[in-house]
Structure 1
């Protein structure tokens, strides 16, 4: 009897391990499909995204794609959520460093032109490098993000995701502007966000070797100089 109980217990642990392995494999497959969907959306837009196109991009059977996502709208929605999460997280580190840097200055120092010029150069360098990395290494994320401002805004079932994503982009710009503008930082933030996003989207159409990082730096500096109330 003791042997039988031990055997049952051992079998139970084995079956549990099998379930965990299958679950992990299933999650990996699901993520693979979602990432393939992100690439398809970036390439052909939302209307051109189908189960078949995603399966081809994922190098997976069509039946597997429809097994995990029976409704194409569900697949598109979850892919967009994942893309948004990945892209926002890629910026969180740089924003954290920028705000930690700004917090080193007291109010008196912030009023000095020399201090604001130093800050403008420092933040410009960080922003330019991050934007360049987005353009060169994260073009798919940028392409999908562009859809947040266009195609998704006119689709009721996706509009909430677009609004939420844009708001997540806007908030750190508002925080940055509020260091130098206590009256209407939202205005400065909106203008800065529009400039940054336009520069990145414009560069998407260029060959990677033609992307001029110095030109990006000049444009970013001019916009940030406005936010920091620096005269030309």
Structure 2
């Protein structure tokens, strides 16, 4: 196997393996040894690329947050008016709630860490700030903040429900939040 110097994908494999294991076993079940085995790298390369498991967890969750922000961007970059933006947010809720269980679990693991540890709280605050930037392209800052929370809640409720609510309910909730205080058009 190539050394850390000649294997440019090694660091990325370690991060991906970390996220996969957190999604499967929870953060408490993850160790350097398990990550190295999953990534197919020597255990020693873990300390070559990361000073410790906490640095690795923060890097992995930062990468995960970047992924979710990219999903927001993909949905919210093209709408040209409020109605299209509402439809895009509706799509976003349904894509997130019907998508990867891995993403859902990783989001909840990150939130649990953020509730206990300030560095992860900072990471989630930055993630929320970046998500709201996309929403603020279409809605005022207060509405974007409310909508961001609604997206998270609707996504979680849809993902965990044995009978998820339909698209019409999602759209109605988004419309209610985004028309409050809106001038008559």
Structure 2: gaps (5+ residues): none
Paired residues for 1:206-225 under 5 Å: 212=164, 215-225=166-176
Report the Cα offset of residue 123 of structure 1. Answer: 3.4
Given that residues 14 and 39 in structure 2 are in contact (C-alpha distance below 8 angstroms), is that contact kept between their aligned partners in structure 1?
A: yes
Q: Hey, what does 1:141 align to over in structure 2? A: 103
Q: Hey, what does 2:27 align to over in structure 1? A: 46
Structure 1: gaps (5+ residues): 1-21, 103-115, 179-184
Call closer, same or farther: CA 1:44–1:176 in 2, change over 3 Å: farther
Query: Taking structure 1 as the reference length, what is the TM-score of the superposition?
Result: 0.64
Q: Hey, what does 1:130 align to over in structure 2? A: 92
Aligned counterpart for 1:87 among listed residues 46, 51, 68: 68
Given that residues 38 and 144 in structure 1 are in contact (C-alpha distance below 8 angstroms), is that contact kept between their aligned partners in structure 2?
A: yes
Measured in 2, the distance between the counterparts of 1:57 and 1:135 equals 27
**Greater helix proportion:** 1
Q: Hey, what does 1:203 align to over in structure 2? A: 158
- Alignment of 1:30 onto 2:18: no
Measured in 1, the distance between the counterparts of 2:163 and 2:86 equals 17
Given that residues 73 and 134 in structure 2 are in contact (C-alpha distance below 8 angstroms), is that contact kept between their aligned partners in structure 1?
A: no
Aligned counterpart for 1:156 among listed residues 118, 126, 136: 118
Larger radius of gyration between Structure 1 and Structure 2: 1
Q: Hey, what does 1:107 align to over in structure 2? A: none
Call closer, same or farther: CA 1:217–1:150 in 2, change over 3 Å: farther
Q: CA RMSD in A?
A: 3.0
Aligned residues: 180
Given that residues 113 and 121 in structure 2 are in contact (C-alpha distance below 8 angstroms), is that contact kept between their aligned partners in structure 1?
A: no
